[in-house]
Amino acid sequence: MAVEPSSEFNLTQAAVLARYFTNLDRPVFALRNLPEVVKGALFSRYSRTEKSLRRVLLDEFINEPDSGFDALTTSAADADDMVAVRRAEEFYERVLVGYGDDSVAELAGAHVAVERTSTLAAKALEDSRIGISPLEKSTRYVRFDRPGRDGRFLYHRGPELAHPDYEPAADLLFETYSALIEPLTQAIRERFPIEEDETDRAWKAATRAKALDMLRGLLPAGTLTNLGLFGNGRAFEYLITKLAAHELPECRTLAGDLLRELSLVIPAFVKRALDERYGAPSAERLVRMRKAMTRLAPRTGATESAPSVRLIEHDPDAERKVVAAALFPYSDARWEDLQGDASQVLEAALSDRANRRQRPPRALEHAQYTFEIVANFAAYRDLHRHRMLTQDRQLLGTALGFDVPSGLAELG
């Protein structure tokens, strides 16, 4: 970026700041080349001063010897990882603690990759609705029958799965999945030939995805997958605490793995995840609560059931609430007096949406519905992505039976 003096900074100051901001003279700008702990502390201080953000960085971080900013931003070539971690911790203690670190931890984030983890453990990682954005290896676009380095299919093996029938059953599922991919893909291509305006590459990709989609129900819940997570420090801290209390040994191991790796990049924000004062007692409480709920929950014995969707509860006043919420920002009337024509209001709010990226108004959030869904695990994986829903699930098992994709049966 060319360094130009602005009305706020002289040429020398601008030269220093240019490294850390995308511009120095406009009201909207992005931060760059700053450690996450500095970004968090900078934004927190920003909320408690009348200074501009760039001025805060210059006056209270760069030009303040006691802040430790210079040491923390030393290039990686000049400091090994352990030194960088120590500097981050020192910076945290010196600057961040005074600004309310719970909220500050939401202003710094990290990218984490988790590989060779079971689908069940992946669901536990992805359950965090707020503060963490996950992206998992797709069963629709990627084959899962490639063997590992030892020549075996990739599914979770552990002492908790020592039953002699476990591996033979999992191997059979993978063998069946693998054997069906090519013949099913061919059958789909015969049923759905390439269209005039479709490229050969797009057609082949779409038909292969359809085949993998039909067969993914064969993949056991122990299938190993990869996923990437981006999240803020506060969300990662609580995720680690929750995983440490999980009933699956694999998830408890992941808690330690995540804490170890995140401590190398955002140490200040995950330091309490399993500490003796906060994290460990919280994890122990979650374990106690789970055990208590298990004792209290009735066990009636699930029976085989067809896939179903049942509306359990609904708000009989939902339509009026949505109408009132849609009109409220544009009216001077009290909420309870807003009684617009529902069809006209909903028509105005929703009718001209051209695609899913044109979001409906938040007025719809005032209507609540509770559904109970019986479905296979492959279908649930798709439902699980809609993380703003409030989701509760029972233990995955075979008591409810199984189903076969209708398209698979039709194709023989």
Query: For the residues 119-140, what does the mean pLDDT come to?
Result: 92
Give the strand order in the sheet containing 109-118: 109-118, 224-232, 132-136
Whether the per-residue pLDDT at 96 is higher than 90: the answer is no
Asked whether residue 270 carries a pLDDT value surpassing 80, the answer given is yes
pLDDT of residue 85: 58
In angstroms, the CA 217 to CA 384 distance is 15
Residue 185: count of CB within 10 angstroms of its CB: 19
| Best CA proximity match to 371, nearest among 304, 307, 313 | 313
Q: Catalogue all structural domains in the chain, each as residue range(s) with its CATH number.
A: 11-104 (no CATH), 110-296 (3.30.70.3180), 308-410 (no CATH)
Using CA atoms, how far residue 258 sits from 6, 34, 86, 237, in Å, is: 43, 22, 18, 9
Cβ-contact 54, 8 below 8 angstroms: yes
Q: Is 182 helix (H, G, I), strand (E, B) or coil?
A: helix
pLDDT tens profile 50-70: 999 999 999 988 998 777 787
* Higher per-residue confidence, 368 vs 105: 368
pLDDT above 80 (res 411): no
pLDDT for the residue numbered 110: 92
**Which residue, 139, 143, 174, 140, is CA-closest to 157?**
174
Q: Is the pLDDT of residue 350 over 80?
A: yes
Beta strands in 125-201 (DSSP E): 132-136
Distance CA(155)–CA(220), nearest Å, equals: 8
**Single-letter amino acid code for the residue at 159:** P
Q: Average per-residue pLDDT in the chain?
A: 88
pLDDT at 78 over 80: no
Handedness of CA 290, 292, 297, 303 (dihedral sign): positive
Sequence-distant (6+) residues with CB within 8 A of 145 are 153, 174, 177, 178, 181
Whole-prediction pTM: 0.86
Asked if pLDDT for residue 309 goes beyond 50, the answer is yes
pLDDT of residue 170: 97
Q: What is the pLDDT of residue 77?
A: 41
What is residue 98's predicted lDDT score, i.e. its pLDDT?
56
Please report which confidence band the pLDDT of residue 128 belongs to, taking 50, 70 and 90 as the band edges: confident
Query: What's the confidence (pLDDT) of residue 2?
Result: 55
For residue 1, pLDDT over 60 is answered with no
